[in-house]
Each structure stands twice: as structure tokens, then as C-alpha cells.
Amino acid sequence: MNYPLFVESNHTAIYKAYRPGYPQEIYHRILEFYFNTTNIDEVNQKIPLAIDIACGSGQATVDLSSYCHRVIGVDGSENQLKQATLKDNIEYHCSNAENLTFLPPNSIDLVTVATALHWFDIEKFFEQVNRILKPNGGVLSIWGTGLPSLNNTKALEMLKTFCHNDLKGCWSDRTHLVINQYESILDKFPYQQTRIKHIIEYERELSILQFVNVIETWSPCQKYRELYGDDKLKELLKTFMDNLVKCYTESTNDINDTIDRSVVYNKMIVVKWIIHLHLMKKQ
């Protein structure tokens, strides 16, 4: 992987604390596809062995462990894995997505990649997937969340301005792949004859503070910190948060009072993601 992100201990701690999880519908769709059914209620089995690539601190890995007998979480960052949640049926391994040689051929039932494919050398990764997936039914599952949306018109415009103007120059070309839901590289996916896509709408109620904390985990914020320093990033996020508060409270006043600030920053808002889930099966 040529993009060593999420490796510093301070950033991986933030990632662990604030990175949101994924809706259960993703895992239900994976199970239906793996077990060749259209009804999750008919599935009373677990997938034997799954590997979650670029698992970070285990957001998807832990969810998968409820549906699999055994899960291996793989990430290239040792600091990410130090933050990972432990469970009896999960093990973690530090390795890049393009180097899965520690796994024997034809040994894995399910390979998952949660909002991370854009950081890989895709051709090398798919070669590894084809080597480790079991034939006649091994499943590759790839999904991405894209950018969030807000149910407040002014706040949504504020978010777009923040992304396009304030973080200008901090976005890797690779991030555009996931923002566009990998549409430009779908022809590179393996097992095209079996590939299907589910579009999943996912809403969460977060406080304004929680939402800004999520944004801080983004790779362009990490890049902004590298370019301008931690204090400048905190200042940028603070200004963005205050502007969001004004959108949701329709206030034009500065937010100066400590008590009022605590209240307004904890105002709950609805955040929405559109997730494209791609499923394909090795024949």
C-alpha cells in the first residue's frame, strides 16, 4: 500500500474513538449472498473464515465476528491494531493488502474491504484475493460510504464548502475513487459474472460535536495537520463546528459562553451516508 495513513498513535486513537461503524444490513446482505438466499431469516449458519482487509481498529471486523466462526483483521498500521477490539474468535495481523502471503491458497471463505480499497494497489490486491479465496463460492465484499449528507440545507452547503475550500489541496486523488463509490474502477473488479451491487441508505443521529469528531478522522484532515500543524487543524474544526451550530440554531451570534457552547455542541443532528456494497463470488 503506497499511502501510509492512519499510522500515528494520536490519529489512530482518534480513529478508534470516533470512527462510525456500519449498518447491520451490510452483513445481512453478505450472508444472503454467501448462502445463496434472499431471506436472512433462513440463514442459521455462520461463515467459517473471513478476513477483513485494512481493518483499522476493527469497526467492521467486530461486526463480522457475530456472523463468522473466525475472523482475521489485517492492517498495515501497528498502531491501528493496538487500538483494535479483542474477541475470542478474532485475530489481528499486521500486513499490507498486497501482501497476504501468510495465508495459504484457497483458504478463505469471505474477504471484506470496508471503505479502504482506494488506498490499495488494486491489481496486486485482487491477485492476492484470487489466490486466497476458496473456489466454488468464496465471496469478495467491497463497500464504501462516500461523503455524508445533512438534512439541513445551510449545513449541507457549509459541509461542501468545508470539503472543497477549507480542505482544498489535502485530498488525495485516491479519495475521489471512494467518493464516487468506485464506479470508475468497477471494470477492474474480479468475478464480473457474479458481481452484484446493493445501495444502502444509512442514517445516524449524532451530536454536532460527534459529527465534527468523525470528520477529524478523515485522511484530508490528517494531511491538513501535517501541512499546517495540530493547532491550525483544531482552529479549522472549531470554526466549522461553530458554523454548523449557527445553521441548526439559526443564530448569527458568536458562541462565547462556555455553558452555552456545551449545550449547542451536543445538539443532535441527522447524518446520512449512501453505501454501495459490491459482492462477487469466486467460481
In this prediction the pTM is: 0.89
Query: For residue 67, what pLDDT is reported?
Result: 97
Number of domain units in the chain:
1
Q: What is the mean pLDDT of residues 208-218?
A: 93
Backbone angles phi, psi at 38, to 5 degrees: -110, 10
Kindly state the cell numbers that stand for 111: 474477504
Handedness of CA 240, 245, 246, 251 (dihedral sign): negative
- Residue 19 CA to chain centroid, in angstroms? 8
Q: Which domain holds residue 52?
A: 9-150+173-204+273-281
Query: Is residue 53 assigned to a domain?
Result: yes
Handedness of CA 33, 36, 41, 46 (dihedral sign): negative
Query: Is residue 85 assigned to a domain?
Result: yes
Query: Is residue 145 assigned to a domain?
Result: yes
Integer Cα distance of 103 and 110 in angstroms: 13
Query: Is residue 225 assigned to a domain?
Result: no
Query: Is residue 19 assigned to a domain?
Result: yes
CATH of the domain at 113: 3.40.50.150
Where does residue 88 rank: exposed (0-12), middle (13-18), buried (19+ CB within 10 A)? Answer: exposed
Query: For residue 254, what pLDDT is reported?
Result: 53
- The DSSP code for 40 is G
Q: Which residue has the higher pLDDT, 79 or 9?
A: 79
- Could you write out the DSSP letters of every residue in 148-198? -EESSHHHHHHHHHIIIIITTT---TTHHHHHTTTGGGGGGSS-GGG-EEE
Query: Is residue 111 assigned to a domain?
Result: yes
Query: Is residue 29 assigned to a domain?
Result: yes
Give Cα separations from 208 to 243, 258, 265 (angstroms): 10, 16, 5
Query: For residue 1, what pLDDT is reported?
Result: 46
% of the chain exceeding 70 in pLDDT: 89
Lowest mean pLDDT among 15-19, 73-77, 136-140, 232-236: 15-19
3-state SS of 50-102 is EEEECCCCCHHHHHHCCCEEEEEEEECCHHHHHCCCCCCCEEEEECCCCCCCC
Query: Is residue 167 assigned to a domain?
Result: no
